[in-house]
Amino acid sequence: MGGVKPGGVKLGGVKPGGVKLGGVKPGGVKPNGVKTGCCKKTGGVKMGGLFRKLGAESLVSMLTKHRTVQTVSDGSVMSWQMVVLPVLMSSSVCCCCCAGLTDDQVKDYLTLHPQTLDEFVSESVSSETLDRWHKKKSSGSPDEPRPEKVSGYQDSNMQKLVHDLTSCLEQRLDTKLLLYDLCTIIKTATKADGFALYFMGECNNSVCLFKPTVAEDGPPTLIPAGPVTFGTTIATHVATTRQTLLVKDITGDQRFPEGTGQDSDSGIHVHSVLCLPILTAIGDLIAILELHRHWGNEPFNTSNQEVHVCRGLAKQTELNDFLLEVSKTYFDNIVAIDSLLEHIMIYAKNLVNADRCALFQVDHNNNELYSDLFDIGEENEGKPVFRKTKEIRFSIEKGIAGQVARTGEVLNIPDAYADPRFNREVDLYTGYTTRNILCMPIVSRGTVIGVVQMVNKLSGSAFTKTDENNFKMFAVFCALALHCANMYHRIRHSECIYRVTMEKLSYHSICTSEEWKTLTQLDLPTPLYKEIELFHFDISQFEELWPAVFVYMVHNSCGETSFELEKLCRFTMSVRKNYRRVPYHNWKHAVNVAHCMYAILQKTTGIFTEIEKKGLLIACLCHDLDHRGYSNTYLQKFDHPLAALYSTSTMEQHHFSQTVSILQLEGHNIFSNLTSIEYEQVLEVIHKAIIATDLALYFGNRKQLAELLSTGALDLDNHQHRDRVIGLMMTACDLCSVTKLWPITRLTANDIYAEFWAEGDEMKKIGIQPIPMMDRDKKEEVPQGQVGFYNAVALPCYTTLSELFPPSGPLLQACKLHTIYYIDYTYIT
């Protein structure tokens, strides 16, 4: 600087009294006779560079009078803003007697030029001296005033400190001396004057003061410090509440009449106390750290409490890491249950610091424990090695693991050979010596699904209560992982059974080559070609020709080239095989419904597209595929699996699903010649048509159509209107048995009631009274029931259909005639 410092001193110019500090030659003599160039190195500190910059008199005066230099820096390696260096000079330092610069002026200069001191220290001060200065500053002196800011470290430094502490602490969780050393670091980080470390006594009902040494090179000692209670010392108070407590003035706090419990003996006058419980992740108290600040120093503030979370956070972080790793293992490769079990076992070993680990799963069907993954006591890149071997099984009635599996209780055995339940033969066979055992159940939904057995505590004489508590929390997540893995295993097993079942089913539900080849060669009798065009055509007498009747109707309606003959024959014969032998909803009914649709399409030429005609004929043939003879209401009331799959229109959705399944069989896709768009369109037609056969949907659909017809608003180019028309056509075809000749209609009604009464019988078996229509004890009510059905369902359906398509009038006429017959009919025989 070329300017003038406060007080008129020009540092770069001539010093008052005519002495020019900046121009002194090395080896020259100053006015007071002090040689500046001949200063010796004292304590490893070369003073020449600093002398040239500051002036000898002020520097020596500062060093000899105050013995310390407080420095400020912009973030150098030594973090000068945290450290006040005690620059202690020996008596051999050459003292300059130059007068003029004051101590404050030198300090002001250093404040504005911290790099000056940085340069000097980095060039001239040894690392040993720096360490000595830092230690002296850290130890401090009660007489020295503290800066106003209690915590001089930055947040980033604090986080690093916590990370370092936790890394060190987690290596050996139960080592008291190591914990004491860590508390020493925490004392420095919080700028405390002292600290006390207490551990829990026996049964956790008292605290003991930890002393690292009593005599020179003696062992650590625990000194009783009182019971865990209120109204004594701050340490026992925190042991009771397990909450961090900051007291700025403990002498005036009536909660702690005995203060810290150490004042009277040690002569220490404690002013402020920060007392922190050291807890495990699940809340077990293992120690109490009591940090002190003496009278004359700033009390603790809330920022100092950051340190106390280190151990709990580390434990929780470790657990979170485990859960994330297990989740990743589970979802990345859900099949690899061995990998999942290995992760669980590795974490379990680390959690309680055990030498060996075994995990057994429970087979409740055979009352056995089994495992095929074993800890062989070796490591690979720092991780335990588990070997998959031949599965071993043993009775749940045997051994320690068996008892845990039976009772669901934890067993902590400090001396295995003193416990009669321990099987010594295992050690004799393996050559391994078992000292202590911690055995824990893994419980899911109140049932033990596994047992984890830890063998030989590495860092102590036996497993502790804390190990038990830690493991209990781990067991909850372990149970979840095992439950999911076992559930997936059962699903995979069920899937294999399903595949085998489907393979068997497909074999028995697919037509043989002889069947479909025979169909390609069948010809219909000549009279049938004419009769088949009539609505009342009776197919009963031509049972062997039903498949051929359907193929003929498809060809006559859609054209012989509309489907590949081989595929159409395969499809038709396989559909026949998939109809069950029930009284009414069977293969005969399917062909009857398809014939009625064929007759309607033949009399409404030009209205429906080729895609619609193909879809409607196939939908009619397949509309009751795999029908079981029970209504949707029955299936839903009795929680049938189909009702769980399809909550509405249960059987109709199943019929469509079966249709698609047959289409997907090899050589059965009759729509393979269509484009992808056309294929989607025809499947949509089939789906809507089959769903429309649910009679519960009929009433709303017919009402809407009747309104459209009455108002003249019906538009067949409107997709919604068109869907409603097709829906009504499907209902009309499904009910077509009421439009046949009277003898056929009456016999078909017998088949319908046979199914109804069978369903009613099943309901009676479980104490439910069926509706009259399904009660075989009320046969006399059948004619009346049929009249009601015709009036409420059949007649409105065919009336609306005949208004839509007048050529369908014969259906309505037959229905009206049969209504009259039923009025005079007594009962069905």
How far is it, in rounded angstroms, from Cα 626 to Cα 500?
A: 19
pLDDT at position 32 is 40
Burial of 167 (0-12, 13-18, 19+ CB in 10 A): exposed
pLDDT in tens, 782-800: 999 999 999 999 999 999 9
Q: Judge whether 31 lies within some domain.
A: yes
Based on the domain organization, do 735 and 670 belong to the same domain? yes
Separation of alpha carbons 304 and 302, rounded Å: 5
Predicted local confidence at residue 179, as pLDDT: 80
Per-residue confidence (pLDDT) for residue 33, from 0 to 100: 39
- 785, part of any domain: yes
Half-sphere exposure of 346 (CA within 13 A, CB side): 21
Rounded to whole angstroms, how far apart are CA atoms 113 and 615? 93
307 is a domain residue: yes
Q: Could you tell me if 252 and 223 lie in one domain? A: yes
Residue 483 has pLDDT above 70, yes or no: yes
Angle between helices 742-765 and 809-824 (to 10 degrees): 60
- What pLDDT, in 10s, does the model give residues 48-85? 443 333 443 443 343 333 333 333 333 333 332 233 33
The answer to whether residues 196 and 88 belong to one domain is no
Check whether residue 377 and residue 237 sit in a common domain.
Answer: no
297 vs 732, more confident: 732
The pLDDT of residue 22 is above 70: no
Which pLDDT score is estimated for 573?
A: 96
pLDDT for residue 562 = 92
Which residues have C-beta within 8 Å of that of residue 432, sequence separation ≥ 6? 356, 377, 426
**Phi/psi-derived region of residue 286, left when phi > 0, alpha when psi is between -120 and 50, beta in every other case:** alpha
Last residue of a domain, one of 103, 138, 173: 138
Task: Indicate the burial class of 704 (C-beta count within 10 angstroms; 0-12, 13-18, 19 or more).
Answer: middle
Shared domain for 98 and 175, answered yes or no, is no
Are 357 and 465 part of one and the same domain? Answer: yes
Same domain, 25 and 117: yes
Report the binding-site residues for AMP: 585-589, 624, 734, 786
Q: Is 636:684 a contact under the CB 8 Å cutoff?
A: no
Residue 642 · residue 650 · CB < 8 Å: yes
Confidence of residue 163 (pLDDT cuts 50, 70, 90): low
Cα dist from 577 to 194, 510, 547, whole Å: 91, 7, 11
Instruction: Look at residue 438 and tell me if it is in a domain.
Output: yes
What CATH code is carried by the domain that includes residue 241? 3.30.450.40
Would you say the C-alpha torsion 663, 664, 668, 674 has a positive or negative sign?
Answer: positive
Exposure on the CB side of residue 467, measured as CA atoms within 13 A: 32
Query: Is residue 87 scored above 70 in pLDDT?
Result: no
Same domain, 127 and 178: no
**Residue 259 pLDDT:** 85
Q: Which amino acid is at 220?
A: P
Q: What is the mean pLDDT of residues 207-212?
A: 88
DSSP for 223-284 reads EEEEES-SSS-HHHHHHHH-S-EEES-GGG-TT-TTTTS-HHHH---EEEEEEEEEE-TT--
Compute the distance between CA of residue 808 and CA of residue 281 in angstroms, rounded to an integer: 80
> Is position 501 within any domain?
no
* Each residue's pLDDT tens digit, 284-319: 788 899 999 988 888 887 665 555 445 555 555 665
**Mean pLDDT value across residues 322-347:** 63
Q: How far apart are CA 441 and CA 427, in angstroms?
A: 23
Both 94 and 238 in one domain: the answer is: no
Highest mean pLDDT among 186-195, 488-497, 568-577 belongs to: 568-577
Q: What is the mean pLDDT of residues 543-548?
A: 93
* Inter-residue contact 814 to 739 (CB < 8 Å): yes
Cα separation of 631 and 97, whole Å?
117
- Asked, for residue 505, whether it belongs to a domain, the answer is no
For 623-650, what is each residue's pLDDT tens digit?
999 999 999 999 988 889 999 899 899 9
Binding residues for Zn(2+): 589, 623-624, 734
Reported confidence tier of residue 15, pLDDT bands at 50, 70, 90: very low
Three-class secondary structure of residue 474 per DSSP? helix
Average pLDDT over residues 550-557: 96
CA distance 208 to 226: 7
More confident residue, 108 or 197: 197
Whole-number average pLDDT of the chain: 78
**pLDDT at residue 810 is higher than 80:** yes
- Give percent of the chain with pLDDT exceeding 90: 38
Give me the CATH number covering residue 558: 1.10.1300.10
Same domain, yes or no, for 816 and 783? yes
Q: Beta-carbon neighbour count of residue 223 at 10 Å?
A: 11
pLDDT, tens digit, for every residue of 361-371? Answer: 899 999 999 88
Q: pLDDT grade, residue 168 (50/70/90)? A: low
Residue 574 and residue 428 share a domain: no
CA distance 50 to 37: 12
Q: How far is CA 198 from CA 169, 193, 194, 278, in A?
A: 16, 17, 14, 10
Residues 6 or more apart whose CB falls under 8 angstroms from that of 380 comprise none
CB 416 within 8 A of CB 422: yes
Determine the average pLDDT of the residues in 775-785: 92
Residues 309 and 355 in one domain: no
pLDDT > 70: percent of the chain: 73
Residue 416 maps to a domain = yes
Nearest CA to 452 among 349, 528, 532, 546? 349
Residue 323 falls inside a structural domain? no
Residue 366 lies in domain: 333-491
Structural domains of the chain, count: 4
Given a contact cutoff of 8 angstroms between Cβ atoms, the answer to whether 45 and 125 are in contact is yes
Annotated binding site: 585-589, 623-624, 734, 786
Cα dihedral 256, 259, 264, 269 sign: negative
CB-CB neighbours of 50 under 10 Å: 21
Q: Residue 604: its pLDDT value, please?
A: 92
Q: Write down the pLDDT at residue 541.
A: 83
Residue with tokens 């009771």: 240
Residue type, 193: D
Task: For residues 200-217, give the mean pLDDT.
Answer: 77
Stretch 250-273: mean pLDDT, rounded? 78
**For the segment 683-720, what is each residue's pLDDT rounded down to a tens digit?**
999 999 999 999 999 999 999 999 999 999 999 999 99
pLDDT tens, residue by residue, 438-454: 998 988 888 999 998 88
CA distance 585 to 652: 12
| Cβ count within 10 A of residue 517 | 14
CA–CA separation, 625 and 601 (whole Å): 22
Q: What is the pTM of this model?
A: 0.54
pLDDT recorded at residue 740: 96
Note if 585 is an active site residue. yes
Nearest to 574 by CA among 503, 668, 644, 499: 668
Residues in the chain: 829
Of 343, 585, 627, 818, the catalytic one is: 585
DSSP-assigned beta bridge partners for residue 140 = none
How confident is the model over 412-424, as pLDDT tens digits?
Answer: 999 989 888 887 7
**Both tokens of residue 588?**
């005969």
